[in-house]
Amino acid sequence: MNVHVSKVVILAIGLLTIQTPPLVHAQGRMGMMMARRGFGFGRFGGGIYADLYAPAYFYEDNSNSKKKQRNYRYEEPTLSPEEERERLHQMELAWSQGDLTGFESQTAMALNILLDDLRDLQSKGVQPPDTALDTESLGRVNVLVGRTNGNPGALKNNGRLNWPTVFQGQEFQSEREMITRLAPQVIEQARHGQVTDLARLDEAVKKLHQNLLAKIAIIPTTTYVRANRFLTQLDDAIRILRLPDAGNYFNEIYAARGSTAGELVRHMTRLDLHFAPPVEGDASAYRALHQVLAAYDRSAHEQMSTRSLSVRTR
């Protein structure tokens, strides 16, 4: 009994560390990094908005013949709501243009910040020298339309799955074989606008969840976490398959497309797409795309700054 309880505690810690936190970790690191760079912290940090903040604390030395009296006075920041939004935008942008950690690469947060910024710059006519993309690598990047929840990534390879080792055992054989058979069929059905076997696929995935949980006490924690993440990604793909336009995710209409960074941004804008997180095996493609978009965004801002300087000096 004690062994089982310990296993559950360790697993919970593992799940919190590996699955949920990439976004939280990314945001936390972004805040700490911006603090070190001095965004919006007055004379305590300097930075591009230092002049918009009054010093947080003043020291007054009122001397007399007997003693020195110290008075501390606090003043609230003087940013307007619009200036505060711009300050936060610049913080996010600076973080997204930098190098990402492994955890941060597990989310699409930085890519979407860059995408939104490049959309805005393109609408203003800013067109820096374009940068070529690796189209094969780009095909491994997952996208979503508008505010859609889910992620098609787990089934994007025509439903062919790369099963984690733990699921290759005999105790998982029945559900594994059913999912392996049904997934390609459901993808093909979605392409033709009528998914008829989705309920059976969903039920098989739920049974795998139950069987995996039943073995929590005997499966190594890292193995369990990876297997559970695999099933969660299948859940996300099934969520996409329930949509009326699910076929567009598997016939390359809703896809990251473009031979250059500029073409990609225009394509994503036209279809109201944004980036979804990577699934197993996608990490290198996401890192490569981030490096290209970050450099392209920096170049766009340099062009914007040059244009503004030229206008002021006329």
Q: Side-chain half-sphere of 204: how many Cα atoms within 13 Å?
A: 20
More confident call, 313 vs 123: 123
Whole-angstrom distance, CA of residue 11 vs CA of residue 217: 10
Where does the pLDDT of residue 35 fall: very low under 50, low under 70, confident under 90, or very high at 90 and above?
very low
Evaluate whether 239 touches 150 at the Cβ level (below 8 Å): yes
Mean model confidence pLDDT for the chain: 81
Residue type, 81: P
Whole-angstrom distance, CA of residue 267 vs CA of residue 181: 34
Model pLDDT, residue 82: 86
Per residue in 220-272, pLDDT tens? 999 999 999 999 999 999 999 999 999 999 998 999 999 999 999 999 999 99
Distant-in-sequence, close-in-space partners of 206: CB < 8 Å, separation ≥ 6: none
Per residue in 264-309, pLDDT tens? 999 999 999 999 999 998 999 999 999 999 999 999 999 888 766 6
Per residue in 95-147, pLDDT tens? 999 998 878 878 899 999 999 999 999 999 999 999 999 999 999 999 999 98
H helices within the chain, ranges in order? 2-18, 21-37, 81-97, 102-105, 109-123, 135-138, 173-191, 198-214, 221-241, 261-270, 283-312
Question: Taking residues 83-104, what's their average pLDDT?
Answer: 89
Whole-angstrom distance, CA of residue 75 vs CA of residue 90: 23
